[in-house]
Amino acid sequence: MDRHELLQKITTFPWIVSELADQLLTGDFRSIFKGQGIEAEEVRHYESGDDVRMIDWNVSARLGTPYVRIYREEREMTVFLVLDCSASMYCGGGLMSPFDQALLSASVLAFSAEKAGQSVGALFFDRAITAVFPPRKGKAPLMGMLRKALAITRGGQGSDLGAALAGAGRLLKRRSLVVLISDFLSVQWEQELGNLCRTHEVIALKIEDPLQQDLTEQGIMALEDPETGLTYQVPLSFPTFRLAWSAWRQERLSAWQGSCRSSGAAFMDISTAEDAPARLIQFFRGRGISRRRIGKP
């Protein structure tokens, strides 16, 4: 899909994200933050039945009688997108590349958060962090972020997902919803995912190209690894090779799902042939993200 066509598609999203925006203020999204991210509002005399954990011992000692601190729940939630822009995201056999689908998915979530009045930020990466957009409110900074992504025509070789996750953790000073969008063709990122999940709610969105999942009988074919530039001659006509390829992809998918589960991240995979807005709405309406509270087992 060319950049102009992709931009045209993205600019239609503000008109179709109402349902997903509602999910940012209710249901699974809000239940995660219930009782979290709260700010002290006032103190008052301790009354029978008050939770002793709410006693403000400094004020109580100074005034000579027990006081409790009353908190106000913080209603805002930052949505932060971690977007893989590496070379492998631009390879695909269909009309849409994995990066096109990743950007469409990111745009749906970003416009939904903006419509719900939330701050939106992002981090782009390949073999290093290439761009950072601190969380801000409003459509103007959001469109600037998306235009920056659209200007990328070919990502750099290599994908350091672990460094990107660590960078997001350093940048975010308050509890946030972090959406990681990648093909996960990277190594040694699992620990950083776990570290991020301890403080933030994380959704891992894996982009798949269906034409790379099921190989057809095409004789000998040269396949290039976009991350290294190496070329391999593979015997697609051999059933044993196609079976081994299928088994490897299934093993890789299972390993990815297991890493997400053990880290505490919610996850979904989406094909480049699917409708991104429909799939995301279905995901949040149906399964939703993990109901565990942030910082809790």
295 within a domain of the structure (yes/no) = no
Please list the alpha-helical segments (H only) found in 154-265: 161-171, 190-197, 239-263
pLDDT at 291: 38
* Type of residue at 97: S
Residues 261 and 177 in one domain: yes
162 within a domain of the structure (yes/no) = yes
**Considering 52, 73, 94, which residue would you say is the last residue of a domain?**
73
φ and ψ of 238, to 5 deg: -85, 120
SS3 assignment, position 148: helix
Residues 144 and 207 in one domain: yes
Helix axes 139-150, 98-115, angle to 10 degrees: 180
291 within a domain of the structure (yes/no) = no
Residues 47 and 186 in one domain: no
Residues 115 and 54 in one domain: no
pLDDT at 205: 96
SS3 assignment, position 84: strand
Residues 89 and 52 in one domain: no
pLDDT in tens, 11-62: 777 666 666 666 655 544 444 443 344 455 578 888 877 777 788 888 889 8
Between residues 70 and 68, which one has the greater pLDDT? 68
Average pLDDT over residues 70-95: 79
47 within a domain of the structure (yes/no) = yes
Residues 52 and 80 in one domain: no
Secondary structure letter of residue 146 according to DSSP:
H
DSSP string of 116-130, one letter each residue: TT--EEEEEESSSEE
The count of domains in the chain is 2
pLDDT in tens, 210-234: 766 555 656 666 666 666 666 767 6
CATH number of the domain encompassing residue 11: 3.40.50.410
Residues 220 and 129 in one domain: yes
What is the rounded radius of gyration, in angstroms, for the C-alpha atoms of the chain? 22
102 within a domain of the structure (yes/no) = yes
- Name every residue whose Cβ is closer than 8 Å to that of residue 34 and which is 6 or more positions away in sequence: 73, 293
- What CA–CA distances, in Å, run from 276 to 39, 149, 192, 283, 295? 36, 17, 27, 10, 30
**Considering 73, 98, 129, which residue would you say is the last residue of a domain?**
73
Between residues 239 and 260, which one has the greater pLDDT? 260
* Type of residue at 244: A
Residues 58 and 203 in one domain: no
Residues 51 and 169 in one domain: no
SS3 assignment, position 285: helix
Residue with tokens 């505490």: 264
SS3 assignment, position 67: strand
The mean-pLDDT minimum among 125-139, 153-167, 271-285 falls in 271-285
294 within a domain of the structure (yes/no) = no
296 within a domain of the structure (yes/no) = no
Burial of 180 (0-12, 13-18, 19+ CB in 10 A): buried
What is the model's pTM?
0.75
202 within a domain of the structure (yes/no) = yes
Residues 142 and 238 in one domain: yes
Residues 176 and 42 in one domain: no
Residues 105 and 163 in one domain: yes
pLDDT at 218: 65
Q: How confident is the model at residue 118 (pLDDT cuts 50, 70, 90)?
A: confident
Q: How confident is the model at residue 69 (pLDDT cuts 50, 70, 90)?
A: confident
- What CA–CA distances, in Å, run from 85 to 32, 137, 165, 196? 29, 24, 14, 20
Segments forming the whole domain that contains residue 172? 3-29+76-285
Burial of 84 (0-12, 13-18, 19+ CB in 10 A): buried
